[in-house]
Every structure is written in structure tokens, then in C-alpha cells.
Structure 1
Amino acid sequence: MDIGVRELRDGLSRHLAFVRAGHTITVTDHGRPVARIVPVGVPSRLEQLIAEGKVTPAARRKSSRPQPIKTTATVSDLVDKQRR
């Protein structure tokens, strides 16, 4: 079921009852889908694929980004220094 933001806001209780009954609602903004409201307990598509063995979760998380370098020089100065 697709509904607009205004319609969702105006009939929130009714729409949540619809979701509670096991249905999914796609929320649209000016006709474009922006969100999906799904019942709790319904596995996501990714969870379904993992359960079916079609997808394997990553063995480890991505490493974090390195800490930014603190400097008083400009980027141009740093690049110039590396070129030497």
C-alpha cells in the first residue's frame, strides 16, 4: 500500500493498525517512495537471503577511518612538500 506523508499523518493510528495486521506501507513524498513501514518481527530481505544461505555476512567490520592529520600548513604546502 502506498500512501502520502499527509495521509499517513492524518490517519496514523489506522495505518499502524494496518501494519500491525502484517501489511507493509510505502510512504511517498510527492509520489516518490521515501520510507517503508513494516511489521516488527518480519525479517528484512537481507535477513531472508542470509537465512537461505544465498548471502554470507561479512566476517569482520570495515576498519575505521584514520584520524585526521593536524597541521597549520595549507593543502598546497603539504602537496608541494611531498613532491620534493
Structure 2
Amino acid sequence: MGAKPKSVGIRELKARLSRYLRLVREGGVLVVTDRGKPLGRLVPLTRDPLEALKGLAQAGVVRWSGRKPRPRKPVARAKGLCVADLLLEDRE
């Protein structure tokens, strides 16, 4: 899906932030590390969320049929009480 992400430590990132943001702006992916352990990732924003979803599907991270999601049924229902009442009851 592209080149291997570049890794950078926190100290280096702070010292040369503009340089690394330029790299991300140009489409690069940057893995931020803390003492050699991955901490986070800086990736360019996509303008179209649909394109991001297609990219995730191509990478095998998600499966998507391309159709609009169907509404889901509620997992649980409380008969006769609203959520606020249930929370108050639980706190007692």
C-alpha cells in the first residue's frame, strides 16, 4: 500500500517538527516512538472519508460491501425506566 513508515523518536520529532509535518503533508506515514517502542502514528488526512474506508478495506483491516450500513437493533432495553433513573438507582 506504500513505502514503509518512517520512525522517529519524540525528542527528534520535537526538534524538527516542521520537517516531519512536511513529510506527512506529502503523503508519508510517521511512526512516533518513545524509547524505541511505537507510541502513535501521524498520517495524512484524507479529504473524503469514503476514500479512507476504501483504503482500509484494501489493506484488509476492515471488510465492507460498499453498501450503506443497516440500522442496528438496541442491545438492551429497560422497561419503565429511563437511563437517568437507572444511573441514579445504580449509584445508591
Higher-Rg member (1/2): 1
User: What is the identity percentage for the equivalent residue pairs of Structure 1 and Structure 2?
Assistant: 32
User: Which amino acid is the alignment partner of residue 70 of structure 2?
Assistant: A
User: When the two structures are aligned, how many residues end up with a matched partner?
Assistant: 69
| Residue aligning to 2:13 | 8
1:68 aligned residue: 87
- 1:3-82 equivalences under 5 Å are 3-41=8-46, 43-44=51-52, 46-48=53-55, 49=57, 55-56=63-64, 59-60=70-71, 63=74, 67-70=86-89, 72=92
Code of the residue aligned with 1:68 in structure 2: it is: L
3-state SS of 1:36 partner: strand
Secondary structure, counterpart of 1:22 in structure 2: coil
* Gap runs ≥5 in structure 1: 73-84
What code does the residue aligned with 1:55 have? R
* Separation (CA, whole Å) in 2 of partners of 1:62 and 1:8: 45
Give the Cα separation in 2 of the matches to 1:8 and 1:61: 43
Deviations 1:33-72 (A, max 9, x none): 111101121854x54218x9x7138534685885425264
Letter in 2 for 1:29: D
**TM-score, normalised relative to structure 2:** 0.54
Secondary structure of 1:8's partner?
helix
